[in-house]
Amino acid sequence: MPAAERTPQTLYDKVFQAHIVDEKLDGTILLYIDRHLVHEVTSPQAFEGLEVAGRKVRRPDCTLATTDHNVPTTSRKALKDIASFIQEDDSRTQCVTLEENVKKFGITYFGLSDKRQGIVHVIGPEQGFTLPGTTVVCGDSHTSTHGAFGALAFGIGTSEVEHVLATQCLITKRSKNMRIQIDGELAPGVSSKDVVLHAIGKIGTAGGTGAVIEFCGSVIRSLSMEARMSICNMSIEGGARAGMVAPDDITFEYLKGKPLAPKYGTEEWDRAVAYWKSLRSDPDAKYDIDVFIDAKDIIPTVTWGTSPEDVVPITGVVPDPETFPTEAKKAAGRRMLEYMGLVPGTPMEEVVVDKVFIGSCTNSRIEDLRAAAMVVKGKKIASNIKRAMIVPGSGLVKDQAEKEGLDKIFVDAGFEWREAGCSMCLGMNPDILSPKERCASTSNRNFEGRQGAQGRTHLMSPVMAAAAAIAGKLADVRKISQFNGSPHIEAAVTPESTTFSGPSASEKAHPDERIETSDTEKETLTDQPQDSSPQVNTTVTHAGGTSAAGGLPKFTVLRGIAAPMEKGNIDTDAIIPKQFLKTIKRTGLGNALFYEMRYLEPGVENPDFVLNREPYRSARIIVCTGANFGCGSSREHAPWALNDFGVKCVIAPSFADIFFNNSFKNGMLPIAIKNKEDLEKVHAEAVAGREVEVDLPNQLIKDASGNTLCAFEVEEFRKHCLVNGLDDIGLTMQLEDKIAEFERKMSRETPWLDGSGYLKRKGAGGKLAVKAAPVPKTNRGDVKTEPLEW
């Protein structure tokens, strides 16, 4: 079609379009996936599914695994193997299971003894595994990070992990286009984290639901890749599945010399760059949602509540919930302040902090550490700070920081210098907050209990967390550090502009050795599910939650008690907290459902919680009047826990995308009812304790006497799969010819995406062999003697 007649496309449209393998009339699309990152938490059940069905990993060369969530970040000097290194049983099982699976399925893996190990969203870009114009997935919501390269990158659930492993494709739909344009110049002391916190404060945690956000404008263009990653990382906190930035010279510069990027100086590199340059939104491209932000409105920002949208400038005060617009918001605000131990009107700069955490996939890259080091250099952390931790995002970040002497600056100031991992972002490992401890954290989620049961999290940038460590309370970094008129932190701090010196890593003692084991052990114990975990509902079982490979129970008409809920933004951390994610099974999680709300302490039920009251103990449906149900993490454990408890259907005004998808994959039906009156009718039945009937074939919700309460929408393909109990991996595999054809085309057009050992180009008549085969050699051997290449 001549260019003039082509509908203008956004960056997202272009990348999406280039990966369509097949499209159904109802808009269901089979999308090809170029890059699949795998970690230990969301993969065991997927590998198990493959094994049970006798399936292979289709593209081991496009799959990269590491272990990050469960790993302790203490010294690895004495590391022999992961099995003896990890003390906690369930964490160890998950990590060992991953190691077994990567061997079994021939996948490249960066284990604990490998310098390239680290948080999955740090290592992908670092290796050049993440490239512009690619589709990138991982069983992890912060896969959005990789969108900084102009990749379409999003989190998926475990069933989808299994689907991608088996077919290298995903079944999906087009998303809406959303644009967040940030123009102007960031003031000194303001960083990309402030930009994204400010943006989420503006759009809310459901603002981007159903959309892919393109970040653009002069501010974004001026930012480094690290800073762009921090912004795209938190797109998910704004409800969007993905965030994207158009690739430009800054992107290409970053990719030069990365092990898995096309080799700089070769024809392939030039070809790739020419393609990457075409990945810009067309000038007249249309966006469904447009947001403009003026850089001068952004000042260092912190959160005050338990949702990432609860932001306030550091110069502000703790808000008063009584001024919130609706009764529901007032109630939520009161609860948050109680949880956070804050009083309305208190200046944020007076909020005293106990712990400081600089790390996570949002802010653990070299630039983050440089910026934080600049603030703490020559200073000491305040005496009230119990613990301040620096956790590099990968072994390579750690090495680089040590080369620049940053570790010395931190240790001299009183910080702990740790090994790479998710650490205190999500207490699945020994790094956790004790109850009521307050943390200045560079992570991305401040949900209740996220960093440890009853822990209190304030999200902020690395320089702000560093400032909090020095001040002993939340602090305005602009008062603590001089920014010498630099335009903004990420452009200001480069290795050249920072004169750090200090002994190299090998010359100094390891700071981890200062940590007393007893302290670590104590913290671990407080946050682990106890053996005495309450046993409830053990009699409520049904056929859901089976492996996708084994087919699903059919969903036609469901009748049962519906439990009423009213809260908005019920996140998956609340549906099932982190300590229960260590299972390698899909079943048995019913007892952990809504754990923090359901139990006052292990074994003691909270009598006020709806599922602890009759008749709701046997609820099969949840009716929630609050929007954005299932937001946050991609954990499929959330629908597994609901399913295991007996709930097969959730009705709410809206859902977070990943939870919505994950539910269908488990034979469950999430129903979005936007019409308030309709939802209220169903809610009233639930409140009255009467049964409700969900009739999927006729798409109707009825009361106990069979009267229709309202109709509901459901996508045709999803309905077809639910009603017939279809295994969508099997369905996709029937399209083998189309997938193979697509792969041949990709190998011709973007050959740099094929990993070594994939296509043996010796097929007759120019026909390429596309049989899935493990890469002949991986780097799972002795990393010390192997080069940092595949």
Ligand X SMILES: CC(C)[C@H](C(=O)O)[C@@H](O)C(=O)O
The yes or no reply on residue 586 touching ligand SF4 (CB under 6 A) is no
Query: Which of ligand SF4, ligand X, none lies near 581, with the C-beta cut-off 5 to 8 A by kind?
Result: ligand X
Q: Compute the least distance from the CB of residue 730 to ligand X, in Å.
A: 25
Q: Which residues bind ligand X (CB under 6 A)?
A: 41-42, 69, 140-142, 155, 426, 581, 633-635
Does residue 66 belong to the site contacting ligand SF4 (CB under 6 A)? no
Residues 348-367 binding ligand SF4 (CB under 6 A) are 360-361
Task: Give the residue among 282, 10, 39 at the shortest CA–CA distance from 147.
Answer: 10
Rounded distance between C-alpha atoms, residue 115 and residue 779, angstroms: 12
> Which of ligand SF4, ligand X, none does 443 bind, CB closer than 5 to 8 A by kind?
ligand SF4
- The item of ligand X, ligand SF4, none sharing an interface with residue 306, based on CB under 5 to 8 Å by kind, is none
* Residue 279 touches which of ligand SF4, ligand X, none (Cβ within 5-8 Å per kind): none
Binding of ligand SF4 at residue 425 (CB under 6 A)? yes
Give the list of residues 6+ apart from residue 510 with CB closer than 8 angstroms, or none: 75, 77, 417
Q: Which does 119 bind (CB under 5 to 8 A by kind): ligand SF4, ligand X, none?
A: ligand SF4
- What contacts 635, CB < 8 A, 6 or more positions away? 41, 42, 157, 572, 576, 581
Pairing of strands 621-624, 557-565: parallel
360 makes contact, choosing from ligand SF4, ligand X, none, with CB < 5 to 8 Å by partner type, with ligand SF4
Is residue 63 at the binding interface for ligand SF4, with CB under 6 A as the rule?
A: no
Residue 42 touches which member of ligand X, ligand SF4, none, C-beta under 5-8 Å by kind = ligand X
Provide, rounded to whole angstroms, the least separation between the CB of residue 635 and ligand SF4.
10
**Least Cβ distance, residue 64 to ligand X (angstroms):** 16
Cβ distance 621 to 649 under 8 Å?
Answer: yes
203 binds, options ligand X, ligand SF4, none, Cβ within 5 to 8 A by partner type: none
Closer residue to ligand X, CB minimum distance, 581 or 679: 581
CA distances from 290 to 40, 180, 523 (A): 37, 6, 45
The answer to whether residue 444 forms part of the interface with ligand SF4 (CB under 6 A) is yes
**CA neighbours closer than 13 Å in the CB half-sphere of residue 467:** 23
- Strands of 95-238 (E only): list them: 108-110, 135-138, 152-155, 169-172, 176-183, 211-216
- Please report whether residue 142 would count as binding ligand SF4 according to CB under 6 A: yes
Our CB check for ligand SF4 shows the closer of 281 and 444 to be 444
Please, which residue, 287 or 659, has the CB nearer to ligand X? 659
Q: What is the DSSP letter of 314?
A: T
Closest distance of CB 361 from ligand SF4, Å: 3
The answer to whether residue 443 forms part of the interface with ligand SF4 (CB under 6 A) is yes
Count Cβ neighbours within 10 Å for each residue of 563-589 and write b for 16 or more, e otherwise: bbbebbbbbbbbbbbbbbbbbbebbeb
Stretch that binds ligand SF4, among 338-346, 419-427, 537-545, 777-785 (CB under 6 A): 419-427
Please report whether residue 368 would count as binding ligand SF4 according to CB under 6 A: no
How far CA 553 is from CA of 547, 556, 650, 727, in Å, comes to 11, 10, 17, 10
Stretch that binds ligand SF4, among 102-110, 321-329, 420-428, 729-737 (CB under 6 A): 420-428
Q: With CB under 6 A, what is the number of residues at the site for ligand SF4? A: 12
Nearer to ligand SF4, 422 or 492 (CB): 422
Q: Verify binding: residue 69, ligand SF4, rule CB under 6 A.
A: yes
CB of 241 to ligand X, least distance (A): 12
Q: Which conformational region is residue 484 in: left (phi greater than 0), alpha (psi within -120 to 50 degrees), or beta?
A: left
Q: What share of the chain is helix, strand, coil (3-state, %, to 5)?
A: 40, 15, 45
Q: How far apart are CA 496 and CA 549, in angstroms?
A: 54
Nearer to ligand SF4 among residue 152 and residue 361 (C-beta): 361
Q: Does 98 bind ligand SF4 (CB under 6 A)?
A: no
For residue 556, give both structure tokens.
């036609």
- Tokens, residue 409: 């600056």
Note whether 232 binds ligand SF4 by CB under 6 A: no
Measured from the CB atom, the residue of 30 and 428 that comes closer to ligand SF4 is: 428
Q: Nearer to ligand X by C-beta: 145 or 546?
A: 145
Sign of the dihedral defined by the CA atoms of residues 497, 502, 504, 510, in that order: negative
- Cα 236 to Cα 169, 204, 232, 246, 732: the distances in Å are 22, 11, 8, 18, 27
| Residue 249: its H or E element | helix 249-255
Calpha distance 711→115 (Å, rounded): 55
SS3 category, 465 = helix
Measured from the CB atom, the residue of 247 and 430 that comes closer to ligand X is 430
Choice between 86 and 426, CB closer to ligand X: 426
* 95 contributes a contact to ligand SF4 by CB under 6 A: no
Residue 466 exposed, middle or buried by CB count within 10 Å (0-12, 13-18, 19+): buried
CB of 423 to ligand X, least distance (A): 12
Q: Using CB under 6 A, pick the residue from 152, 178, 426, 489 that binds ligand SF4.
A: 426
Residue 11's nearest CA partner among 228, 280, 285 is 280
Measured from the CB atom, is 361 or 439 closer to ligand SF4? 361
Between the alpha carbon of residue 770 and those of residues 519, 740, 744, the distances in Å are: 53, 6, 8
Judging by DSSP bridges, how do beta strands 387-390 and 176-183 pair with one another?
Answer: unpaired
- Residue placing its CB nearer to ligand SF4 in the complex, 60 or 393: 393
Q: Is 422 in the site for ligand SF4 (CB under 6 A)?
A: yes
Can you tell me the distance from the alpha carbon of 710 to that of 680, in angstroms, rounded to the nearest whole number? 10
Q: Where does this chain bind ligand SF4 (CB under 6 A)?
A: 68-69, 119, 140, 142, 360-361, 422, 425-426, 443-444
